[in-house]
Structure 1
Amino acid sequence: MTAVLDNGVLDTENEAQEPAGVPFTALELPKPLLEVLTEAGVTTAFPIQAATIPDALAGRDVLGRGRTGSGKTLAFGLPTLARLEGLRARPHKPLALVLVPTRELAMQVEDSLRPYARAMRLRIRSVFGGAPMRKQIDALRYGVELLVATPGRLSDLIERGECELGDVDIAILDEADQMCDMGFLPHVCELMEQVAEGGQRLLFSATLDGAVDEIVTKFMSEPVLHEVDPHAGVVSTMSHHLLLVTPQHKARVAAQIAGRHTGEQLADARSIFFVRTQMAADRVTEQLRERGLPAAALHGGMTQVARTKTLEDFKEGRTPVLIATDVAARGIHVDGVDLVVHIDPPRDSKDYLHRAGRTARAGQAGIVASLILPKQTRQAERLMRDAGVEAESLDVAPIGAGGRWEKGGDALAGLTGAQEVPEAGDVPVFTLPVRERESRGRQGRGGYGDRRERSGGYGERRGGYGDRNRESGGGYGDRPRRDDRGNYAKRDRDERGGAARQGGRGGYEGRGGSGASGGHGGGYGDRPRRDERGGGYNRDRFAQRSN
């Protein structure tokens, strides 16, 4: 059932079939965790979970290799929470650490494990770049038992003195191979050197190769290896297809595949289209929206707020078509994704499997289709061999192209559910509806729709813009006009600002110069000066002073 590393080298020759169909009740998990699993309708462990949880509960170092979507989060999360039961972290000093490569994956791990952590009365928090650091610092100051982090942001928090890893007894690396591919190996090694010596190390990934060996050799002690679908990551419910298309038809074919969501049959389905660059993601999204199709882009050039909102709209079905770069190849788990389309081919077989893993998760069915130009045929076939998958090749064309393309259009519709879509400009550009916020009035002041202060709401505030007639003055609709000298005519003022304000500066009449203001005022064109007592204005004051 297990294979142990010898001198840091993976020993996979004597692997046995990992257990499948094991109920969680047989894995000696704490009762609170079992109750949450039961409430969620999860009673049977996936193979990777059934294989790794017993060794992880026993405190052994574990290497878990399984295809994406195989249930690795619960495989390391449940035993970690079980071992933390009854413990309390000090401020700034977490007790367990999960390192992940992307912010999306950090948020997903936190969301997945939060119900179980709450049941165990443990605190879990994720820290990642692109989000305000203040809230993350406040959480660390309060205390966090299980910290989920990206290497870059965690290093920043440590440099600021807001986090220390000396109390971390359980360190977990999730998707370690991608962290190495993204250049995080120095960060990972630096962080792993700061955790408590002699603690437990868990490493989970879809592949265990390359720089991952360096981490295994340096930081893990006699790890137990468990592999599920070790070589190809093949999923029986996932089908792979190479859609051979001509260059002039590629954009239209992609649009018609996205048009599958315009019908009612696939109202709850989701599709992810992968491209290589951020510019391509924005360009394809714009092209689809110009045809009235509900699409949104997701890439690393977006702010975290925009990325979070895009994922939320995608999950809730407001935009069932997502155009993504490889930043979304890992870390996205959305129910109902039944189609993954490679508009641009991935760089290698590893990226292909990670992209494909967004569908057919947890036993669901899914289709992976790659749009292949004639010059890319050999490259695509080699990619499929390296990924260990058997892909069906189909000649496709846009629906309605007619002639010799008719069979290609039928094949496209039969496989993906594609539909004919309008040309750009024939329909309004797709835009998400504005989410209106409910107007909430405050006591004593009123809401925006009916805001009434002591002086009235906007509609009649201070007499209203249209008829501003408080005792203190007229409104804009009854505003005094300038006379032929450019001064304001007399305003009807009360005793607070009347035409003959007693012992004061004078009313508007005094400013206007058209009448006397207690004997002291002039208009703006002939502005009066204060007298030596400061009680009024006297335009002759400076003249007298000069004499």
Structure 2
Amino acid sequence: MNHPDRPDTSQGDLAQPKTLTPALPAVTSFADLELPTEVLRTLTELGVREPFPIQAATLPNALAGRDLLGRGRTGSGKTLAFGLPLLVRTAGRRAESKQPLALVLVPTRELAQQVTEALAPYADALRLRMATVVGGMSIGRQAAALRDGAEIVVATPGRLHDLIERKACRLGRVRITVLDEADQMCDMGFLPQVTEVLDQVHPDGQRMLFSATLDRDVDHLVRSYLHDPVVHSVDPPAGAVTTMDHHVLIVHGPDRYAVTTEIAARDGRVLLFLDTKHAVDQLTRHLRASGVHAAALHSGKAQPQRTRTLAQFKNGQITVLVATNVAARGLHIDDLDLVVNVDPPTDPKDYVHRAGRTARAGESGRVVTLVLSGQRREMSRLMAEAGIEPTVTKVRSGEAELSRITGAKAPSGAPLDGPAAPRPKNTNAPFRGLGTSKDTSRGTGGTGGKSRKSGEARKLAEARKAAMVRRSR
């Protein structure tokens, strides 16, 4: 049901909030912004020469202290768009114990660490202290960092809530608050904790909300907490990014396992998305047994392990990252040119964010989604909602067309972690966890059900025979 005061919008798009004060014009260079010399020098040292569109549009207004609502495609430079104003406007002030001055709230640990790493050189140049507050790491150490004094805190909602409950953090002096990927925080159920945070920060402070997608999930936050915001939507949706190719590959159920393995064995890195932690772990074990340098990433992994896996993927030690949607946002990997949805997403936003791991910052990339024949209609609907017109191709493992689209090739077969497990007689048996039914005989022509029944009958016959022997003694 639509709220009577809110205009209806198609496909869940955010109703445009009213802006009373005209926005400042965009700039063409960082030199136009009168940034501190230390920041300009750091930008030059890091090779950041010209602002991306989202930065050019939002930096003048953010530096002036305006509230912001910004949409920029993931990988478009949103971190510096909110990070530079946050740091520059905080510079020269000193935080008291447990009382930070600026806050960046993000949905995942990976994004928190990435934001911290991206802003750290500029914070160091301005002599600002940063603290990263996320789950999966020592809460005692994080409390100590806040106790010692940190001007900037980058946090996930759950861990920040825990520290506030412990009275290890107070937000009353926070005058700049950033919500990055706010829609995902709402999707993940963090809305109550986000509003709790916004109710505690300084009421006259600056609020900036950035995301790759802005829809009615964040409508409450925009209307309740942003005052006379400047609205910028400078990047096209994923379907309009000319450097990104989209492919839907129609695969035969029993062949999906082999297709996935051959794609993973390609030259170059690839990011594979699946729906569940169990499926991620199962596929990763199989790939490593096939000679593919793969590693798993999901919320069930300890944070140090997740951090190490990402580092190995970035430096090339790992060529295949098998992940759940935990890697769909905030993950920046240079030169990642292929993303594969092994399990098709069920939501257009999930597709957009998964796809956004490639073709970043103007680079080219390809997004491939594996689909069974029975999933074609649903996938067509999802693509249409995402504004994408993919190339649809039927493929089989070992075919040249699969190699042309993805670079697929046969794996070495040399196991990386000791002897390989015995292979099933039917090497094209469907892989449980890749969208196939637990009953592998359904819809695939398999014989798994018959095998189980015959095995159970054999066990029953053996039990009866043993009973007869006992009675005859």
Q: What is the TM-score of this pair, normalised by structure 2?
A: 0.82
Instruction: Report the equivalent of 1:545.
Output: none
Counterpart CA distance in 1 for 2:265 and 2:160 is: 42
Are residue 210 (structure 1) and residue 200 (structure 2) matched? Answer: no
What stretches of structure 1 of length at least 5 have no aligned partner? Answer: 1-5, 400-408, 432-547
| Residues 18, 47 of structure 1: 8 Å contact kept | no
- SS of the equivalent of 2:131 reads strand
Cα distance 1:365–1:9, how it changes in 2: closer, same or farther (>3 A)?
Answer: closer
Once the 2 structures are TM-superposed, how far is the Cα of residue 427 of structure 1 from its aligned partner? Answer: 2.3
Identity %: 55
Once the 2 structures are TM-superposed, how far is the Cα of residue 211 of structure 1 from its aligned partner? Answer: 2.8
Once the 2 structures are TM-superposed, how far is the Cα of residue 130 of structure 1 from its aligned partner? Answer: 0.7
| Residues 21, 47 of structure 1: 8 Å contact kept | no
Once the 2 structures are TM-superposed, how far is the Cα of residue 386 of structure 1 from its aligned partner? Answer: 0.7
Question: Per-residue displacement from partner, 1:7-35 (whole Å, max 9, x unpaired)?
Answer: 9951599xx99988822112222211111
Question: Per-residue displacement from partner, 1:178-224 (whole Å, max 9, x unpaired)?
Answer: 00000000000011100011110100011221231101111111111
| Residues 67, 233 of structure 1: 8 Å contact kept | no
Instruction: Report the equivalent of 2:387.
Output: 388
Cα distance 1:210–1:376, how it changes in 2: closer, same or farther (>3 A)?
Answer: same
Counterpart CA distance in 1 for 2:245 and 2:178 is: 32
Counterpart CA distance in 2 for 1:51 and 1:12 is: 18
Are residue 411 (structure 1) and residue 401 (structure 2) matched? Answer: yes
Letter in 2 for 1:381: S
| Residues 26, 60 of structure 2: 8 Å contact kept | no
Instruction: Report the equivalent of 1:155.
Output: 161
| Residues 338, 368 of structure 2: 8 Å contact kept | yes
Question: Per-residue displacement from partner, 1:417-456 (whole Å, max 9, x unpaired)?
Answer: 111124xxx523347xxxxxxxxxxxxxxxxxxxxxxxxx
Once the 2 structures are TM-superposed, how far is the Cα of residue 229 of structure 1 from its aligned partner? Answer: 2.7
Q: 1:428 aligns with which of 410, 415, 425?
A: 415
- SS of the equivalent of 2:179 reads strand
Q: What is the TM-score of this pair, normalised by structure 1?
A: 0.71
- SS of the equivalent of 2:337 reads strand
Q: 2:117 aligns with which of 105, 111, 132?
A: 111
| Residues 25, 60 of structure 2: 8 Å contact kept | no
Are residue 325 (structure 1) and residue 315 (structure 2) matched? Answer: no
In the TM superposition, what are the counterparts of 1:74-89 in structure 2 within 5 Å? 74-89=80-95
Are residue 254 (structure 1) and residue 260 (structure 2) matched? Answer: yes
Once the 2 structures are TM-superposed, how far is the Cα of residue 232 of structure 1 from its aligned partner? Answer: 5.0
Letter in 1 for 2:369: S
Which of structures 1 and 2 has the bigger CA Rg?
A: 1
Instruction: Report the equivalent of 2:307.
Output: 308
What stretches of structure 2 of length at least 5 have no aligned partner? Answer: 1-5, 8-13, 419-473
Counterpart CA distance in 1 for 2:279 and 2:104 is: 32
Question: Per-residue displacement from partner, 1:83-119 (whole Å, max 9, x unpaired)?
Answer: 0121111110000000000011000000000001001
Once the 2 structures are TM-superposed, how far is the Cα of residue 244 of structure 1 from its aligned partner? Answer: 1.1
Cα distance 1:367–1:79, how it changes in 2: closer, same or farther (>3 A)?
Answer: same
| Residues 294, 430 of structure 1: 8 Å contact kept | no
- SS of the equivalent of 1:207 reads coil
Letter in 2 for 1:153: R
* Higher RCO structure (Cα 8 Å, ≥6 apart): 2
Are residue 200 (structure 1) and residue 196 (structure 2) matched? Answer: no
Letter in 1 for 2:97: P
Q: 2:190 aligns with which of 184, 188, 195?
A: 184
Q: 2:134 aligns with which of 107, 112, 128?
A: 128
Question: Per-residue displacement from partner, 1:360-411 (whole Å, max 9, x unpaired)?
Answer: 1111111100011111111111111111112111121111xxxxxxxxx111
| Residues 24, 60 of structure 2: 8 Å contact kept | no
Counterpart CA distance in 2 for 1:17 and 1:30 is: 22
| Residues 47, 228 of structure 1: 8 Å contact kept | yes
| Residues 18, 228 of structure 1: 8 Å contact kept | no
Instruction: Report the equivalent of 2:143.
Output: 137
Counterpart CA distance in 2 for 1:149 and 1:81 is: 16
Query: What stretches of structure 1 move > 6 A for 4+ residues in a row?
Result: 16-21
In the TM superposition, what are the counterparts of 1:262-281 in structure 2 within 5 Å? 266=268, 270-281=269-280
Q: CA RMSD in A?
A: 2.1
- SS of the equivalent of 2:270 reads strand
Instruction: Report the equivalent of 1:493.
Output: none
Counterpart CA distance in 2 for 1:103 and 1:96 is: 18
Cα distance 1:85–1:21, how it changes in 2: closer, same or farther (>3 A)?
Answer: closer
